[in-house]
Amino acid sequence: EKGTYPHFMLKEIDEQPFVMRKIIQEYQDENNQIKLDQDVREAMKACDRVYIVACGTSYHAGLVGKEFIEKLAKVPVEVHVASEFSYNMPLLSEKPLFVFISQSGETADSRAVLVKIKEMGYPALTITNVPGSTLSREADYTLNLYAGPEIAVASTKAYTAQIAVLAILAVDTAQAKGIELDFDPLQELAIVANAMEVLTDQKEAIEDLARNYLETTRNAFFIGRSSDYYVCLEGALKLKEISYIQAEGFAGGELKHGTIALIEEGTPVIALATQTDVNYAIRSNVQEVAARGANAMVISMKGLEQDSDAFVLPHVHELLTPLATVVPLQLLAYYAALHRDCDVDKPRNLAKSVTVE
Ligand code: F6R
């Protein structure tokens, strides 16, 4: 039921702070420490490499997950698009662990890989929003997203839930390996939940940005560096699937290697600037496109903001910024689609779960 909401997508965007709190609650023990299935912990500890396999938005969450697992738990990770993996299998390590990320747990492309790697005798963990789903049943281990049913075709709360659960998995693996962390992950996720609430209360500001930058454009670019880049891929996917604006996410540094040729007078460029070590570099990229006529907007984070920024996010832990930056991008896509009279919850040519390969 969407209650007083005009669309499921808007309702699901708004539910994200509650989903974060639900995840914290479900994955914490009585001492406020992370609680994870012992078998999952052992599997993560035993593997020499993690292969994340997913499609679409779930693939984008996987890219962020790679960063968590490598940085915190020091386990190498590869992230693969499921449809490519099945016929273009990379050389596998000696002790791979496959991690399938799927909101629905029914995606045929991902299932094809699962069937194949099970035949080969490798272990699999599925991270899904639907515990009894095919991918969940056929894997050795499952982690639940606890996002509640996601009805809108465009995935929002499942994406942030996937990232939060991947953060918990990474931290748990680090702890299992005796790696000391200098932050309290569950406390940082609680800060994220509060930040999301602040963000979902700023709909009017985002709607204005959508009106000013996206209402009539044919195309749009999202640029970012480091983990901001991964969120740019997701922001672009959200925008194209529901507003039909041709949108692409790019690594800020790659622009000058070709894409900058597409920048014309008035082309919208949305830049994310939440990472301290690349702040200077991404801001130079913004100047490069602005000098060529782009209608550039910067979404930054408190502590790194400049007066000219279009939108400033509350401060969250630097590893967890994707959980915050994606919220204004989801809302930008929503309002762009709304103002262009698109069917927000049921975009053309798309189904909620893709059960054909
Ligand atoms: C985008 C979207 C799709 C799905 C993809 C994978 O908003 O919803 O890109 O993310 O089809 O679906 P799941 O996660 O169910 O495997």
**What would the pLDDT profile of 295-340 be if each residue is shown by its tens digit?**
999 999 999 999 999 999 999 999 999 999 999 999 999 999 999 9
pLDDT tens figures, 332-353: 999 999 999 999 888 888 888 7
Predicted pLDDT at 350: 84
Alpha-carbon distance values, 17 to 12, 147, 160, 222 (Å)? 10, 10, 10, 24
Paired tokens of 167: 């953060």
Residue position matching structure tokens 């599925």 = 126
Going from the Cα of 57 to the center of ligand 1, the distance in angstroms, rounded, reads 5
pLDDT tens figures, 190-200: 999 999 999 99
> Above 90 in pLDDT, residue 357?
no
Of the candidates 45, 177, 240, 352, the residue annotated as catalytic is 352
Predicted pLDDT at 87: 81
Interface predicted TM-score (ipTM): 0.99
> Above 90 in pLDDT, residue 53?
yes
Q: Strand order in 246-251's β-sheet?
A: 246-251, 219-224, 268-273, 295-301, 311-313
Ligand 1 closest atom vs CA 110: 16
Ligand 1 closest atom vs CA 107: 16
Question: Residue 51 in 3-state DSSP?
Answer: strand
DSSP secondary structure string, 233-290? HHHHHHHHHHH--EEEEEEGGGGGGTGGGG--TT-EEEEEE--GGGHHHHHHHHHHHH
Pocket test for ligand 1, best of 107, 159, 349 (most atoms within 8 A of CB): 107
> Above 90 in pLDDT, residue 223?
yes
What confidence category does residue 1 fall into, taking pLDDT thresholds of 50, 70 and 90?
Answer: confident
Q: Which of 196, 232, 201 minimizes the C-alpha distance to 16?
A: 196
Residues whose beta carbon lies within 6 Å of some atom of ligand 1: 55-58, 102-104, 107, 110, 154-155, 237, 241, 353-354
Alpha-carbon distance values, 152 to 127, 157, 207, 210, 231 (Å)? 20, 10, 19, 20, 19
Going from the Cα of 349 to the center of ligand 1, the distance in angstroms, rounded, reads 14
Measure CA 9 to chain center: 16
Burial class (CB in 10 A: 0-12, 13-18, 19+), 298: buried
Measure CA 335 to chain center: 19
Find the mean pLDDT for residues 76-100.
95
Annotated catalytic, 352?
A: yes
Q: Which of 186, 194, 184, 180 minimizes the C-alpha distance to 165?
A: 186
Q: Which of 312, 355, 22 minimizes the C-alpha distance to 158?
A: 22
Distance CA 51, CA 331 (A): 31
pTM: 0.97
Residue whose Cα lies nearest atom 3 of ligand 1: it is 56
CB-side neighbour CA atoms (13 Å) of 97: 25
Tell me 292's DSSP state.
T
Going from the Cα of 352 to the center of ligand 1, the distance in angstroms, rounded, reads 7
- Judge whether 230 and 326 are in contact, CB under 8 Å: no
Measure CA 200 to chain center: 17
Alpha helix positions (H), the chain: 8-14, 16-26, 38-46, 56-68, 82-85, 108-119, 134-138, 157-176, 185-200, 203-214, 227-243, 279-291, 321-339
Instruction: Write the CB contacts of 280 (distance below 8 Å, at least 6 apart in sequence).
Output: none
β-strand pairing of 77-81 with 124-128 = unpaired
pLDDT tens figures, 227-256: 999 999 999 999 999 999 999 999 999 999
- Residues of the chain with pLDDT > 70, as a percent, come to 100
Predicted pLDDT at 355: 79
